[in-house]
Structure 1
């Protein structure tokens, strides 16, 4: 892509160009292992797997869902403030459709539930950091890590969870996952989904051209690399087996590969264009050092006031109530409201 074709953002959004968030999320481990790890581990939440399993979308159009996931997270880190607010607003409407009865515990699931949203947020940010530490430059300093989690709390402003609930240090992150451990469960559906996501390259990477030849090797490498980042108890729940020798070998090999990719802007663009084409325009201005039209960093409160958005947990309450009435009151499927609108923001569904 030629430099003159890159469109500057309106502003810096919510993170400065030299922020820890942009450094970590901008490293090539993010779309390759970080996001894949997050989507795999998330399935250990019984409520989340119920929502995902009921739609079947991860099986029928994993490439689209993965591309949208990468685009959303990248937008929070790199896009301008108005774009992020619009994405957050649309996602609340999309998630209003993901409600129903959870078959394992017998309760109800709701994708907009604050606990579920916090689980997705923390799992995503932790997975990206874990991949960065294992296969990238290494661990952050204590100060940088606290800054990273403070910035994660800013990202929580764009989901229905409470930013005050975001852990602020490595110790608090460990405590968060320890508290969640008794709630994790791996049904047959969860294990099947996790195995499918670990083989995500086979579904996401095109089957044509030279990529057809590298798909099997890339899939096997990323599968082993992602498993190497997972704690043993999560591997046991998922029903995946991988020895310590394999962990060590794939860590050394993939770290060297990522060091090469990190030095090549062409390779990074190629990877991102392959996995999530619309995300390239989000990250490209940062990569090229192209300043935004208005070089300011906004707070979520300032941005909401400027563009008239409410906090996600307060958004579209009437729609969410109507969807709940349809599903739990009338026993019929929720409406598709929000899905059509999302295509203008996140691209076509198929």
Structure 2
């Protein structure tokens, strides 16, 4: 029998490591599936974010690649080594420099690097991953683990242009944040259309053999129902989403069983990731296989920036960002693609 090769070890433990709650929660199979789908769907209720998304049409034209690259980045933050993750965070500022324009509802300028936009993206992701873990996985974290989780969420925020000081440290604080954001969100036609598109798990999947397509369709429908089941009624109403309480219950039962099976079958989690996000495989494979890094240490984002020579994200690439602003707001032109092109070597191809 042919021996399987062990995954390539990471350089170090990155920013968290095996004793972190981040590894515990993000390593459960709910994270790359319902947790992540929930986050990208809910994000679209922010008018500035959905305007940026709609302007590029990337989610419509290449949804699988967009999902793949985004999941790879967030997985790098949770599991990647400090060098490659710092590089990814740095180039993401360049990528986001392209996400500027005028939001049609308010007619105000938006900027994907704006700290408030980045905080919205960050918190919807970390909240959604935890929500899915607790609803469809092992259950509610202990108070100690929950406090550590939100502290680690603040650490991860240092890799974006938002401030870690703005990250709530409790469940109640997260609820207050969403209540604060609620009046600023909008279920516009484009938001509802984009949310419906992202809830169709099919668009993130590769082409499958005909014989398995009915099964994939059924799984996609259950995942969609499960994602909607995690959303409060006000959010469903805003997103134009209807689903009965009975469907909520049935989807929850089915998914709890399904995720428990995937968690306990050797190799099943990685197989799921291979299907939905091939570019994420090298990031999570050594973690799932228990392969230790070359240097078993963790760093803080500040230590990593100093070691590898990167600026704080909020202060990074200011010349490029200014140039993009001049092109779009001053000259009425289109922003440069240089950040997107450079990112392909780090986050994966856009093709």
Whether TM exceeds 0.5 here: the answer is yes
Residue 195 (structure 1) aligned with residue 196 (structure 2): yes
Corresponding residue for 1:205? 205
The two structures have a TM-score, normalised by structure 2, of 0.98
Corresponding residue for 1:90? 91
Regions of 4+ moved over 3 Å: 1-5
> Is the Cα contact below 8 Å between 2:45 and 2:185 reproduced in 1?
yes
> Is the Cα contact below 8 Å between 2:10 and 2:81 reproduced in 1?
yes
Residue 32 (structure 1) aligned with residue 33 (structure 2): yes
For each residue in 1:243-265, what CA deviation from the matched residue of structure 2 results, as whole angstroms up to 9, or x when unmatched?
A: 11111111111101111011013
Corresponding residue for 1:228? 229
Within 5 Å, give how 1:325-336 maps onto structure 2: 325-336=326-337
CA deviation after TM superposition for structure 1 residue 206, in Å: 2.2
For residue 197 of structure 1, give the secondary structure of its aligned residue in structure 2.
helix
Q: Once superposed, what is the RMSD of the aligned Cα atoms? A: 1.1
CA deviation after TM superposition for structure 1 residue 5, in Å: 4.0
For each residue in 1:48-83, what CA deviation from the matched residue of structure 2 results, as whole angstroms up to 9, or x when unmatched?
A: 000000111101100000011111111001010011
Counterpart-to-counterpart distance in 1, 2:87 and 2:212 = 34
For residue 349 of structure 2, give the secondary structure of its aligned residue in structure 1.
coil
Residue 121 (structure 1) aligned with residue 122 (structure 2): yes
> Is the Cα contact below 8 Å between 1:125 and 1:152 reproduced in 2?
yes
The two structures have a TM-score, normalised by structure 1, of 0.98
For residue 85 of structure 2, give the secondary structure of its aligned residue in structure 1.
helix
Counterpart-to-counterpart distance in 1, 2:172 and 2:181 = 14
Corresponding residue for 1:158? 159
Corresponding residue for 1:237? 238
Counterpart-to-counterpart distance in 2, 1:276 and 1:143 = 32
Unaligned runs of 5+ in 1: none
> Is the Cα contact below 8 Å between 2:6 and 2:291 reproduced in 1?
no
Counterpart-to-counterpart distance in 2, 1:288 and 1:270 = 12
For residue 158 of structure 1, give the secondary structure of its aligned residue in structure 2.
coil
Aligned residues: 349
> Is the Cα contact below 8 Å between 1:205 and 1:211 reproduced in 2?
no
Corresponding residue for 1:15? 16
Within 5 Å, give how 1:1-350 maps onto structure 2: 4-199=5-200, 201-209=201-209, 210-350=211-351
